[in-house]
Structure 1
Amino acid sequence: MTHDLVTTLRPLLTAEASAEAYASGADPGDLEQAVWLRLLERLEADRPPRDPHRWLRSAVRMEARRCRRTTRAERPYAAEPADAVEREPEELVLTAARHRALHDAVRRLPGRCPRLMQALLSPRDLTYREIAGELGISQGSLGPERSRCLGCLRRLLTPEVAAR
């Protein structure tokens, strides 16, 4: 009986969930899954719906309303918890040590790489055009140069990373 009910209701549920999902901002698959779960709970409790088609339409609308309410009530974090302002002293010391190791490795890079990497790591968040202007190179050569410098930096940092 359950298999027949699922087979019969699947096309209707897919259509109803697709229609309601757009208005509620939910994923149609999530709505379908929630309604199937409700149906299984009813069947396990020996309370099959009298009119399965009508019950299904109503269940999809209820799930869509629940989704809308949840979305309205949820508020995003201003910052990720990992970006929390207050950090443990040990964490601050380790972060400072990583930054020092990175900047020391950048200074040991060959050629124009130290200036390029400092510009890329700058807190001013420079654009490629600004970096190219500061370094006196063409913007088109910036990408390959950056790639070469990052390769050098990776080779310099590998022993330090492996040591930890």
Structure 2
Amino acid sequence: MTHEMLTTLRPLLVAEASAEAHGSGAERGDLEQAVWLRLLERLETTGPPADPGRWVRRAVRSEARRCRRRARAERPYATEPADDAPGPEQRAMAGDRRRELHEAVRRLPGRCPGLMAALLSPEDLTYREIAGELGISQGNLGPERSRCLGCLRRLLTPEVAAR
């Protein structure tokens, strides 16, 4: 297909795509692009169409039908899909909550600050490692943790209720 033929077909393609776009729910540019792609694929396999103008009109209508079928088959989400990546607001709020938690942990009595800091550690320590680090038996970790969580809960309850 010659360059002259492509420049001759472009106004026809633009006009046909404009006419079909509204009824198909597709963008005019998307229809044009799809038809150009189909034409390139055809040129590689079977060569140029015998009647290029007729081929363009049929290709645009075919793409418009495909868009209408796709639009009928698509179903909207009941709610927006969850975005796995938190935005800057969510990261800032999570950072604030983390800082508040660590401040509350530092205010705990006795061995609780050390135990809770070890449990909250990003290193994901095992009970054996925590017990060795704090110098207490592994069997006492569970009850000690429960007491510390109770203290933390009592400490944070007024702050949470105030919000």
Q: What TM-score, normalized to structure 2? A: 0.51
Aligned-pair CA distance for 1:97: 4.5
Within 2, Cα distance between the matches of 1:53 and 1:65? Answer: 19
- Select the structure of larger CA radius of gyration: 2
Q: Kindly provide the CA deviation profile for residues 41-93 of structure 1, in whole angstroms up to 9, marking residues without a partner as x.
A: 01111332110000100000000000000011001222233169xxxxxxxxx
Question: CA-atom RMSD, angstroms?
Answer: 2.8
Within 2, Cα distance between the matches of 1:5 and 1:96? Answer: 60
Counterpart residue number, 1:17: 17
Sequence identity percentage: 69
Distance 1:31 1:100, change over 3 A: same
5+ long unaligned stretches in structure 2? 85-90, 102-163
The runs of at least 4 consecutive aligned structure 1 residues that moved more than 2 Å come to: 94-104
Within 2, Cα distance between the matches of 1:99 and 1:81? Answer: 26
Distance 1:26 1:97, change over 3 A: closer
Aligned-pair CA distance for 1:102: 9.4
**Secondary structure in structure 2 of the residue aligned to 1:82:** coil
Aligned-pair CA distance for 1:103: 8.9
Matched ranges for 1:147-162 at <5 A: none
**Secondary structure in structure 1 of the residue aligned to 2:82:** helix
Within 2, Cα distance between the matches of 1:49 and 1:34? Answer: 16
Within 2, Cα distance between the matches of 1:46 and 1:71? Answer: 30
Counterpart residue number, 1:81: 81
In the alignment of these two chains, the number of paired residues is: 95
